[in-house]
């Protein structure tokens, strides 16, 4: 059975344990999963117990103190280090995610069908939401289709240059080519993510925009999938953001902003930069619409 490499980067997130439990419990074939987890905290959950419970023998669980964190690009790049082509599929989600039953079978089936229509692609979208009720139970959104996006110019002088806005999904059962990378859910052949790896110098701003452009320049379409395979906790009540309490975030944010400027000024090599100016301009003409406030 083809393996799925699952990437999860976590920063001081109380939901990491619940996320991993949901991944394993809801998978039809948990033995096909390889989990690469990077925890940045002072008290790391005992995930090894879950791996033993679900007979998961192959995983990487790296732990560092949260004071050594350097931003999202660094964390995601760490999770990708064990990735290779022995894993056919790659899945990236956040550490505050809940999955539907048999998500592994469904996402692979839908993805392979979409390839027949779109060619080289990855599924990527913002998953539906879940919240906690007053009694602590989970309340899931009833929408069965993830968000689809359009892209518009960001506010003047913003380093990210482009920002997404929600739009109605019209992709039917084959997905919708929307040209934007969503970090909360990305799934596809591992070879595509090996070709377009995470830049460990991007702090936070520009993570999704640079990846959207880099995938497009590498002829890999970014398609909103036809179904919600998981749900995301957006309010963040059970986690701390790096920039909220870290004393070092400004230093890494400055590094990331310089990296972002270098990206748009064509100063980076083909691995992390804009490898094809013509395709970059094509991406803009195809997907970037006038700004709507």
Q: What is the pLDDT of residues 37-72, one digit of tens each?
A: 999 999 999 999 999 999 898 999 999 999 999 999
> Percent of the chain at pLDDT above 70?
100
Which pLDDT value is given to residue 44? 98
Average pLDDT of the residues of the chain: 96
Residue 293: pLDDT over 70: no
Residue 123: pLDDT over 70: yes
Which pLDDT value is given to residue 246? 80
pTM for the structure as a whole: 0.96
Which pLDDT value is given to residue 96? 98
Q: What is the mean pLDDT of residues 12-25?
A: 98
Residue 241: pLDDT over 80: yes
Q: Is 273 exposed, middle or buried (0-12, 13-18, 19+ CB in 10 A)?
A: buried
What is the CATH classification number for the domain harbouring 68?
A: 3.90.550.10
Which pLDDT value is given to residue 144? 81
Residue 111: inside a domain, yes or no? yes
Q: What whole-number distance in Å separates Cα of residue 15 and Cα of residue 230?
A: 14
Q: Is 235 exposed, middle or buried (0-12, 13-18, 19+ CB in 10 A)?
A: exposed
Residue 14: inside a domain, yes or no? yes
Residue 49: inside a domain, yes or no? yes
| Domains in the chain, number | 1
The model's confidence at residue 147, banded by pLDDT at 50, 70 and 90, is confident
Q: What is the mean pLDDT of residues 89-107?
A: 98
**Under 8 Å between Cβ of 167 and 274:** no
Domain around 210: 4-287
Q: What whole-number distance in Å separates Cα of residue 11 and Cα of residue 14?
A: 9
Residue 194: pLDDT over 80: yes
The model's confidence at residue 142, banded by pLDDT at 50, 70 and 90, is confident
Which pLDDT value is given to residue 245? 81
Residue 292: inside a domain, yes or no? no
Q: What is the mean pLDDT of residues 145-160?
A: 92
Residue 293: inside a domain, yes or no? no
């Amino acid at each position: 059975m083809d393996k799925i490499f699952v990437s999860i980067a976590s920063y001081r997130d109380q939901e990491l344990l619940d996320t991993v439990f949901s991944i394993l419990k809801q998978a039809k074939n948990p033995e096909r999963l390889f989990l690469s987890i990077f925890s940045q905290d002072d008290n790391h959950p005992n995930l090894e117990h879950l791996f033993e419970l679900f007979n998961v023998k192959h995983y990487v669980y790296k732990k560092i103190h949260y004071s050594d964190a350097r931003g999202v690009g660094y964390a995601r790049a760490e999770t990708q280090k064990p990735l290779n082509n022995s894993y056919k599929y790659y899945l990236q989600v956040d550490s505050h995610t809940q999955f539907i039953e048999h998500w592994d079978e469904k996402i692979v089936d839908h993805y392979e069908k979409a390839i027949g229509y779109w060619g080289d692609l990855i599924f990527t979208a913002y998953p539906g939401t879940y919240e906690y009720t007053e009694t602590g139970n989970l309340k899931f959104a009833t929408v069965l289709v993830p968000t689809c996006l359009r892209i518009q110019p960001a506010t003047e002088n913003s380093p990210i240059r482009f920002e997404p806005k929600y739009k109605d999904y019209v992709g039917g059962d084959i997905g919708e080519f929307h040209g934007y990378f969503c970090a909360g859910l990305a799934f596809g052949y591992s070879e595509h993510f090996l070709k377009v790896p995470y830049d460990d110098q991007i702090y936070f701003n520009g993570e999704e925009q640079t990846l959207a452009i880099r995938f497009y320049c590498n002829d890999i379409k970014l398609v909103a999938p036809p179904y919600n395979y998981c749900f995301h906790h957006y309010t963040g009540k059970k986690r701390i953001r790096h920039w909220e309490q870290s004393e070092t975030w400004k230093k890494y944010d400055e590094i990331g902003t310089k990296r972002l400027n270098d990206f748009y000024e064509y100063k980076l090599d083909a691995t992390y930069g804009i490898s094809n100016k013509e395709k970059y301009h094509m991406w803009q003409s195809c997907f970037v619409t006038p700004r709507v406030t």
